Amino acid sequence: MLKRGDKAPEFKLSADNGEEISLKDFRGKKVILYFYPKDMTSGCTVEACDFRDNIKKIEKKNAVVIGVSPDDTKSHVKFKDKYELPFTLLSDTTKKMLEDYGVWQEKSMYGRKYMGVVRTTFVIDEKGKIEKVFEKVKVEGHVDEILNSL
């Protein structure tokens, strides 16, 4: 797992708007990079809407929000439109970025093991270094926790 002070791994992925987005596009701003398992699921929707409802506070701190999941861009567009999400969602269907950031891990549900996204948020500073890592995120109160750390 990446830790505070590490250089954040570069990426180049398709965004919900069809553009290719990379980390270097955000130099000079803090990046709240949050990884979530699946569009339109209960926990992921609560988390996304919490970011949406706090976007002005986040932007005042010279930060941007980027969500990443293995869903495709079509799914992201539906999710973004339905909940009026004002930030970028990146599609990592190959799971390369998920692996680079160490969030694609073995999980277990009802005794069955499978690979999936462990809900994790990275705060990346203006120069591309990891400033803070929130592992195994509990959705409730998470955005407040991030705002307090900025």
Q: Which residues are catalytic?
A: 44
Give the span between the Cα atoms of 93 and 95, in whole angstroms: 5
- Residues 6 or more apart whose CB falls under 8 angstroms from that of 148 comprise none
Q: Kindly state the DSSP code that residue 80 receives in the 8-state scheme.
A: H
Distances (CA, A) of 108 to 39, 41, 44, 68, 113: 20, 17, 18, 21, 4
Nearest to 76, CA basis, from 67, 120, 137: 67
